A and B are shown apart, each in its own frame.
Chain A
């Protein structure tokens, strides 16, 4: 016989029945059960198959330390892969399936693989599959691996809330030590958060039934909880502290039920107390992975929490004093318990899918269940996350917290204090920061580590099928550092991250090498403490909020006008107006060239620089000389990085002697502002220069084309556009709001940029269209604007420049040669590379008028010998104005190649074109003043 439910005891609600299926069979359980406890109560032994050999496996532990029972679980259409049966709360209607087994865990077709184990030892795959090639073997190996399958569906509403909070003391673990500490701290006036991953507090208290401070465990726990709450402390159950990060940040996952995303708590704790208890270690002996071999502590948990007796005839193998009370309880619950000393001889588990007994030396014990305890291992993961060190305690045969950061504390079993009363005292002292000397330990343990050279297959990592022989092989082959051991054998790398395996593994290595255990050391403990859904990190970074687009004040107007909106440099902007792109773009370009285009230029940067030192400052920031710019005038220029490469281009206007307005590219506003601020504060007197980004304060509408002047004149602005020269700026009024009119041109036609406070954008838009529509004006989008500027050979930074372009590559060479004052990037324009003759320069490319538009991204190649790229097409369109294709390119020594015929390559296809000057339309600039 195996496990059964007792008629009383435990924390479950026997009055209600929950139905569920496992591997195609129907079962029942009660509220308070986990899948594991309900199955154990129903007598199920085989709950899984191991990763490599497909060995039958039963439960080892009762909580996060169980490596064996891993299920895919489905509930009302939602399925989650790889759920640990021991920590998955039972819900009515669940359908569970053991992963890695087919058709089921009891009868797994791949179980036969175990026969080949002698050839499938540690790292066998490094020694074979090389001939002819790994690719031949990989697909079938891939199919064999993996645990649960993921079903391809996202769960509706699977969204993790995120809460941010802080506290004086975070207590991780709600066992006796954690509860005592939280109460003491809360009553002393600290703000306290206590988190425990179980639904019910009390930790390991239910394993025994001795009174605690004179009370029954349940009553004592209830009293602590009440006191903590009364003192203002907060308690989070079903909440795992899964990671400790820098500067006291703790990450907590609060379970909210099956197939619902946990809630994430980010808790900034001034102090953190690790009271996470201790885990029972397996004992390494032959066939110690048989279903029915279980952790003693685990069996005690099943009994105490779930009212399940793990077996009827139970053998107990323990090396420590912790087992006595548990044995007594098992007996009291009706089990027949036979205690054995593992030192009597090398044990061997007997039986196959079901344990039939255990052989210890000459002694054979018939039993259905074998409970083992190889000593307690403090759960020090969180301590290590925070950078705490570990000390080896020979007395306790365990690693215990050693030196740690000031804000970290540890108490109770997690601190190696396994006895109840000392743990309580230690926890209270830690919580209050009072000195405390933990007295002598009542815990007695006889070291019991893997015996190298001993017979049989002895499991060390259950899930990953790593045996003592694998560790021996690793040692033989000199993979002896713990990290090599781990990686070579995959010990500790399974979903349980070695919670049961690591100690045995490194103890085995120590024994093989004859070194003390602490010298072998531990592998690194990393978050998350238990696997957590990725959703926990999703936060607000979902959908459009991943990186929200900036929206225009005029978006409703654009949409009303039929705009197709698209992303340009982080802004959502009109691409064109109308249902179909090509005809709309053509019509917009034609309108802009023949009458006028009205363009929403609001995202264009508007950074003001002012103060007594502003003029010298912008003169230093710009490649071009700005100091000589007169107030009311505008200049086009480049900003470079100190490495001489173009950072941004655009116009700068001098509003007054001590005030400048920088128009940078819409996507570069933040970058330009940060760059200006850096220089302002570094090397300048920041009290004499001020930088202020007004981009979002002003909306800008650009009117461009032969009718632009007439349209602006028709607005009642108080300024006369006729007298406004190209590259000047004036101020006017729009109703009772200020208006800036700048005459600059990105199209080659007369253009006016009208800027008003953003709140007036809609009115101005309407006024401009009202004045312009009768004259043939229409709104134009980004795509038409790109064509218009390309016709003129004007560049867009990032499109027509790359990570190598300097201003002289674009034909702007004068400041490089002549500017006297220092400017950002100046010296970098004189390096060997900057002076090279073969730099890529901006040119135009012309194909036959009837030819097709060159693909953007096509490369220009040298014809002779092996092909080499000498440049590429950066912008390419059909020009409605010229009625032929146009293109811009960056081309090696481009200026010298004007007139040459060049070959191009695009996705394997060959093309040709003639190199021209970049400007294809009106090179004399007559249209500007037409």
Chain B
């Protein structure tokens, strides 16, 4: 059976009807016990398992997914990858993620189509240009490839935008990260799944964790729809459902779950090569390789576990897009959907101990954790394997709320994707 992906193997397989390809991952029966259980088969959970096996040699690992892997936010997002964050703690974390992404297709032997076509955040006034300058300076000091563009600079990269000075949100310039861009979300999930599986990790789908077994103050396993499974180290990467899991294990989190929507248009020939975000309209857009405009905006401000969006935000986002690029108003919307995201008070993730011994968290990525999948997995794997924080994850410990050490990227950037 053919296990390695390459042009040559693709050619060979083509000659024999693509019949030789091995399954991308197995579907094993759950064993009664593992060294480590990872709850949640999204990008973060699968990356955790992969790095546990790869970096730490911990291979007796199960990833438990209640539905199909990637069925949560990892398969619903708008795929923006960037690291232009303001605070040094965030910059370090997200930049490591982008660096891991940059080598990921080859490392996983799975083309995740990282497309670093650049990402710009528009500035609509001179005051916003000053704030953009503040951000760009901070990023440059933190080693991030961020630039400040003037109107002409924006026009060069995205000539289809509305440059009318009389627009409600005129374009004065933009903050631009050239290494920002997009990646194929499903491929990231499947690539990590395949990578982890090959290292011996059991990926178990249709296996919902229904209870967390805590004995003498520490976890010893989980109850699932496919029976009880034991492990004394458990990582939870369940995004929008973090509070539900917390409820099972008896701890509380500073998280609200909200629906975040995404939209895709009918496929068009290429018209937009960069990712553009307009803070004024609260809309961001990129064009996928298939040709669809992929876009989104802010949260539905109604706490929700219903994976569908609501009309007011659709109007804001789609209306905003038509204002940003007037010709798009005649383009047709193909589909819209929503995911349930886990929003913390400072819009930064929570990584580290949960308060229940042996149970560690990777959650709170909210609207922006796709770009962090490699690093989120890397960090959680580090903690599960060593029992200690990685230097980069320490500032994101749950205790920051008690210490008042919030990392408020939301306040620093408006929308975070």
Direct contact of A and B (CB under 8 A): yes
Enumerate chain A interface residues (CB-CB to B < 8 A): 51, 80-82, 118-119, 121, 124-131, 133-135, 138, 141-143, 145-155, 158, 245-246, 249, 251, 259, 261, 469, 473, 476-479, 481, 483-484, 487-488, 490, 495, 497, 524, 526-528, 531-539, 541-547, 566-567, 643-644, 799, 802-804, 828, 831-834, 855-859, 861, 867-869, 872, 905-908
Chain B residues whose CB sits within 8 angstroms of the CB of A118 once the complex forms: 14-15, 17-18
Q: Is B186 within 8 A of A82, CB to CB? A: no
Q: Is A537 within 8 A of B132, CB to CB? A: no
- In the bound complex, how far is the Cα of B133 from the Cα of A533, in angstroms? 37
- In the bound complex, how far is the Cα of B340 from the Cα of A66, in angstroms? 34
Given contacts A82-B266, A905-B137, contact A857 B88 (CB under 8 A): no
Interface-central residue, B75, B110, B334, by most chain A CB under 10 Å: B334
By beta carbon, the residue of chain A nearest B102 is A133
Tell me the B250-309 residues at the A interface (CB within 8 Å).
Answer: 265-271, 280-281, 289-291, 308
Tell which of A138, A147, A150, A152 touches B115, judged by Cβ atoms closer than 8 Å: A138
Q: Is B6 an interface residue (CB 8 A)?
A: yes
Chain B residues whose CB sits within 8 angstroms of the CB of A531 once the complex forms: 265-266, 332-334
Q: Is A487 within 8 A of B137, CB to CB? A: no
- Nearest 10 A/B pairs, CB to CB: A146-B291, A803-B411, A831-B404, A857-B133, A833-B404, A541-B319, A531-B332, A857-B134, A537-B318, A154-B326
Q: Mark B96-122, 1 if CB is under 8 A from A, else 0.
A: 000000000110011101111000000
Besides the known contacts A478-B25, A869-B141, 20 further A-B residue pairs in the complex with CB atoms under 8 A apart: A121-B18, A128-B5, A130-B105, A134-B113, A135-B116, A142-B289, A143-B270, A147-B269, A149-B271, A150-B271, A150-B327, A158-B329, A526-B337, A533-B329, A538-B329, A828-B404, A857-B133, A858-B133, A869-B138, A872-B137
Q: Is chain A's binding surface mostly helix, strand, loop or mixed?
A: loop
By beta carbon, the residue of chain B nearest A856 is B130
- In the bound complex, how far is the Cα of B101 from the Cα of A134, in angstroms? 12
Q: Is B329 within 8 A of A535, CB to CB? A: yes
Q: Is B190 within 8 A of A147, CB to CB? A: no
Shortest CB distance A855–B (Å): 6
B-side interface size class:
35 or more
Q: Is A859 within 8 A of B138, CB to CB? A: yes
Interface-central residue, A251, A473, A490, A857, by most chain B CB under 10 Å: A857
Tell which of B68, B310, B336, B406 touches A483, judged by Cβ atoms closer than 8 Å: B68
Shortest CB distance A382–B (Å): 14
By beta carbon, the residue of chain A nearest B11 is A119
Given contacts A119-B14, A147-B267, A476-B19, contact A543 B168 (CB under 8 A): yes
- In the bound complex, how far is the Cα of B137 from the Cα of A414, in angstroms? 60
Q: Is B169 within 8 A of A481, CB to CB? A: no
Q: Is A130 within 8 A of B5, CB to CB? A: yes
Q: Can you list 23 A-B pairs, Cβ within 8 angstroms, ordered by A? A: A82-B266, A82-B267, A126-B187, A138-B115, A147-B291, A150-B271, A245-B311, A469-B17, A477-B24, A479-B24, A481-B67, A481-B68, A483-B75, A484-B68, A524-B337, A528-B336, A533-B330, A535-B322, A538-B319, A543-B323, A643-B406, A859-B141, A868-B141
Chain B residues whose CB sits within 8 angstroms of the CB of A473 once the complex forms: 18, 21
Enumerate chain B interface residues (CB-CB to A < 8 A): 5-7, 9-11, 14-15, 17-19, 21-27, 67-71, 75, 88, 105-106, 109-111, 113-116, 125, 127, 130-138, 140-142, 148, 160, 167-169, 184, 186-187, 190-191, 205, 265-271, 280-281, 289-291, 308, 310-311, 314-316, 318-323, 326-337, 345, 402-406, 408, 410-412
Shortest CB distance A258–B (Å): 11
- In the bound complex, how far is the Cα of B133 from the Cα of A484, in angstroms? 43
Q: Is A534 within 8 A of B111, CB to CB? A: no
Shortest CB distance A741–B (Å): 31
By beta carbon, the residue of chain B nearest A119 is B14
Given contacts A118-B17, A130-B5, A527-B336, contact A533 B141 (CB under 8 A): no
Chain B residues whose CB sits within 8 angstroms of the CB of A907 once the complex forms: 133, 136-137, 140, 148
Chain A residues whose CB sits within 8 angstroms of the CB of B9 once the complex forms: 127
Chain A residues whose CB sits within 8 angstroms of the CB of B184 once the complex forms: 126
Shortest CB distance A887–B (Å): 12
Given contacts A81-B266, A497-B334, contact A154 B327 (CB under 8 A): yes
Q: Is A125 within 8 A of B405, CB to CB? A: no
- In the bound complex, how far is the Cα of B271 from the Cα of A148, in angstroms? 11
Tell which of B11, B111, B289, B411 touches A126, judged by Cβ atoms closer than 8 Å: B111
Chain B residues whose CB sits within 8 angstroms of the CB of A483 once the complex forms: 68, 70-71, 75
Chain B residues whose CB sits within 8 angstroms of the CB of A488 once the complex forms: 186, 190
Chain A residues whose CB sits within 8 angstroms of the CB of B404 once the complex forms: 643-644, 828, 831-834
Chain B residues whose CB sits within 8 angstroms of the CB of A469 once the complex forms: 17-18
By beta carbon, the residue of chain A nearest B135 is A857
Q: Is B134 within 8 A of A146, CB to CB? A: no
Shortest CB distance B169–A (Å): 7
Interface-central residue, A119, A151, A544, A858, by most chain B CB under 10 Å: A119
By beta carbon, the residue of chain B nearest A131 is B106
- In the bound complex, how far is the Cα of B348 from the Cα of A343, in angstroms? 60
Given contacts A119-B11, A483-B71, A872-B138, contact A127 B332 (CB under 8 A): no
- In the bound complex, how far is the Cα of B291 from the Cα of A478, in angstroms? 27
Shortest CB distance B332–A (Å): 4
Shortest CB distance A483–B (Å): 5
Q: Is B268 within 8 A of A146, CB to CB? A: yes
- In the bound complex, how far is the Cα of B87 from the Cα of A869, in angstroms? 10
Chain A residues whose CB sits within 8 angstroms of the CB of B190 once the complex forms: 126, 479, 488
Q: Is A130 within 8 A of B411, CB to CB? A: no
Shortest CB distance A94–B (Å): 16
Shortest CB distance A789–B (Å): 15
- In the bound complex, how far is the Cα of B257 from the Cα of A195, in angstroms? 36
Chain B residues whose CB sits within 8 angstroms of the CB of A536 once the complex forms: 333
Q: Is A546 within 8 A of B345, CB to CB? A: no
Chain B residues whose CB sits within 8 angstroms of the CB of A803 once the complex forms: 408, 410-412
Q: Is B331 within 8 A of A534, CB to CB? A: yes
- In the bound complex, how far is the Cα of B141 from the Cα of A907, in angstroms? 10
Q: Is B141 within 8 A of A861, CB to CB? A: yes
Tell which of A121, A246, A251, A859 touches B134, judged by Cβ atoms closer than 8 Å: A859
By beta carbon, the residue of chain A nearest B5 is A127
Q: Is B328 within 8 A of A534, CB to CB? A: yes
